[in-house]
Copies of this chain bind each other. A is one copy, B any other.
Amino acid sequence: MRTTSVGIFKVATTGPGDVSGLMAMIGSGAIDPKSILAILGKTEGNGGVNDFTREYAVAALCTALAPQLGLTPYEVERRIAFVMSGGTEGVLSPHITVFTRREAERPAGLTGKRLSIGMAHTRDFLPEELGRSAQITETAKAVKAAMADAGILEPADVHFVQIKCPLLTSERVAAATARGNKTATTSSYSSMAYSRGASALGVAVALGEISSDVHDEDVLRRYDLFSKVASTSSGIELMHNVVIVLGNSASSASAFEIGHAVMGDAIDAPAVVSALNSVGLGVAPQTSADRALVNIFAKAEASPDGSVRGFRHTMLEDTDISSTRHARAAVGGLIAGLAGTGAVYVSGGAEHQGPAGGGPVAVIARLSD
């Protein structure tokens, strides 16, 4: 059985085009660029349709890594999974998390399952497939492929599935229309929700969280159907889904462990505490000598019923600020308070990712052994 070791490096950025931190770590030998599997980032755009900080960050990273890898920037983008989540509202702080993987012997004394990472991607979708069963089914297939890639055998060992998925633009809608087909929505902004939702349902299907009998009309309607570990972000820069599975595996020799919990609503502090506890951590300030917080990955959304624990929220009826920005700011404030840092990955738009109004929260800890 192949055993791997995973490295994780959290690097603050001074702007979406800033690659200096990563380059310094490559220069010092701390990171071998050839081992980079995925980069998850928080960039400081609006997280909406016209958030160009995501593609700018990816372009900057590809351009910088190209000579390191002996590839063109375009080839770098095909090799490494880049997931940029726009929106660092409130106390959230722009940063990237670099995941590396290499073949490694598992030391004899190593106990328990350790963090492992796997990847896969779907075929390109047609605009009219977004937010519908085609996207669900193809995503489920890719999740299983990514689990295999990670050496994770049991769905229970999967703690976070990050997916990057497409959105609709005016041009893409027009292309579908020209073929005589209707898209799930004609609004770019709404399409982001559809794509995120269908992708999350694909995760739920793959992990057996829900039955595979999901239909087009369930997307963005049957909010009782959800995954507890899916995190999906839509972006303008691709037409297929990229799937990254994070979990614990007996075939991993890494120094990290991952766990998760599910926030039942946007103010579910106990769930955040539970996720921290699941990897041996507590609330800030951290006191454990042998475990350190690496990062937290969470999804946030405005409760679609317009209230949180019986009190009305105004996120969905605000024409000035999109609800995803509101939700990231609020959930980011809570998680940052409990974690003791704003450099956490809180991403908006949690359709079918956790229960309505809530969302998954995963924590990675570094073990000192």
Q: Which of B14, B91, B311 contacts A308 (CB 8 A)?
A: B91
Report how many residues on chain A are interfacial, defined by Cβ distance under 8 Å.
79
Q: Does A93 sit at the interface, judged by CB under 8 A?
A: yes
**Known A50-B319, A169-B317: A336·B330 in contact at CB below 8 Å:** yes
A264 to chain B, nearest CB (A): 12
Surface stretch bound by B, among A56-64, A152-160, A253-261, A286-294:
A56-64
A160 to chain B, nearest CB (A): 21
Q: Are B91 and A330 in contact (CB under 8 A)?
A: yes
- A188 — which chain B residues lie within 8 A by C-beta? 316-317
Residue of B nearest to A272 (CB): B337
How far, in whole Å, are A209 and B52 apart by their CA atoms in the complex? 40
A226 to chain B, nearest CB (A): 18
**Known A329-B329, A337-B268: A313·B88 in contact at CB below 8 Å:** yes
Q: Does A367 sit at the interface, judged by CB under 8 A?
A: no
- Near B by CB (< 8 A), chain A positions 72-114 give 73, 88-95
Q: Does A33 sit at the interface, judged by CB under 8 A?
A: no
- Near B by CB (< 8 A), chain A positions 15-30 give 15-17
Q: Which of B311, B313, B342 contacts A313 (CB 8 A)?
A: B342
How far, in whole Å, are A59 and B284 apart by their CA atoms in the complex? 40
Q: Does A35 sit at the interface, judged by CB under 8 A?
A: no
Q: Does A318 sit at the interface, judged by CB under 8 A?
A: yes
Mark each residue of chain A from 198 to 217: 1 if its CB lies under 8 Å from any CB of chain B, else 0: 00000000000000000000
Q: Are A45 and B51 in contact (CB under 8 A)?
A: no
Q: Are A314 and B187 in contact (CB under 8 A)?
A: no
Q: Does A175 sit at the interface, judged by CB under 8 A?
A: no
**Known A15-B52, A325-B321: A340·B309 in contact at CB below 8 Å:** yes
- A266 — which chain B residues lie within 8 A by C-beta? 90-91, 333, 336
A189 to chain B, nearest CB (A): 6
- Near B by CB (< 8 A), chain A positions 278-321 give 283-284, 304-309, 311-321
**Known A267-B340, A333-B332, A334-B334: A319·B169 in contact at CB below 8 Å:** no
Residue of B nearest to A44 (CB): B314
Q: Are B56 and A52 in contact (CB under 8 A)?
A: yes
A32 to chain B, nearest CB (A): 25
Q: Does A322 sit at the interface, judged by CB under 8 A?
A: yes
A188 to chain B, nearest CB (A): 5
A127 to chain B, nearest CB (A): 14
How far, in whole Å, are A71 and B34 apart by their CA atoms in the complex? 27
List 5 tightest A-B contacts by C-beta distance, closest first. Answer: A48-B319, A90-B330, A330-B333, A333-B333, A329-B329
In addition to A17-B52, A48-B320, A333-B333, 5 A-B residue pairs with Cβ atoms within 8 Å of each other are A90-B326, A91-B313, A93-B313, A169-B317, A171-B306
| 7 A-B contacts (beta carbon < 8 Å) | A17-B52, A89-B326, A170-B306, A188-B316, A330-B330, A330-B333, A337-B338
